Amino acid sequence: MDRERILIVDDDRNICELLRLYLEKEGYETYLAHDGETAVNMHAEMDIDLVLLDVMMPRVDGWEACRRIRAKKETPIIMLTAKGETFDKVLGLELGADDYIVKPFDTKEVVARIKAVLRRTGRTTAAKSDANEGELVFEDLVINITKYELKVKGEVVDTPPKEMELLYYLAKNYNKVFTRDALLDEVWGFEYYGDSRTIDVHIKRLREKLEGVSENWSLKTVWGVGYKFEVKE
């Protein structure tokens, strides 16, 4: 069975080797890069399942590397940041980071976070082995989180990864209301304190794609609470 491939990106070679040791012990296939530019190039040439990406690096920093990777593929990204560094969660969310880990870290926590993100984004080997895994079907709407493909009235609609994951989560739990904070925690994978406008922006973009498609389902705002994917039963 193919192993999930992890790209470890950090200018500290000792950290890279430590992570490689533990991740390969857990059964992952690992690749190393020591600056953002090399990481972006390696990611473009290889089939990577998840990127562990340090924030502060030479040549191209983690933020720019994250932006470039997200512009090409939907590969999950976990940011690594040293204790005391300013980690802008708003920027991380907007760029598409799936989670973040503060150094010094416990290797067991890193492994647990990787497993959680791979499971949540449908990038595990088991999920990828089944083409129908992670597919939700409604009238004139197909959401496939494994392929990261959204079909509206039979046509594929270009949809960024986080919009897909947000829609999939809401649709999978249809008719349930979620607060913005709950959606940030479930979809982005880490607690977020402050302005929750990110959710509003993603919901607005999804509505532009889905408005008027069907009378049997819709993305609803529950004023004073949050959002839900409403299905008429």
Q: Domain extents for the chain?
A: 5-127, 131-231
CA-closest candidate to residue 96, choices 139, 50, 57: 50
Is the distance from CB of 1 to CB of 27 less than 8 angstroms?
Answer: no
Per-residue model confidence (pLDDT) at position 130: 47
Looking at domain 131-231, its CATH architecture is Orthogonal Bundle (1.10)
Cα–Cα distance for residue pair 137/134, rounded to 1 Å: 10
User: What is the reported pTM?
Assistant: 0.60
- For 65-116, how does the pLDDT look when each residue is reduced to its tens digit (9 = 90+)? 998 998 888 889 998 887 655 555 656 666 778 888 888 888 888 988 898 8
Q: Look at residue 4 and give its three-state secondary structure.
A: coil
- For 7-40, how does the pLDDT look when each residue is reduced to its tens digit (9 = 90+)? 999 999 999 999 999 999 888 999 999 999 999 9
Strand stretches in 55-202, DSSP E: 77-82, 99-103, 135-138, 141-144, 149-152, 155-157, 178-179
CATH superfamily, region 5-127: Response regulator (3.40.50.2300)
Residue type, 169: Y
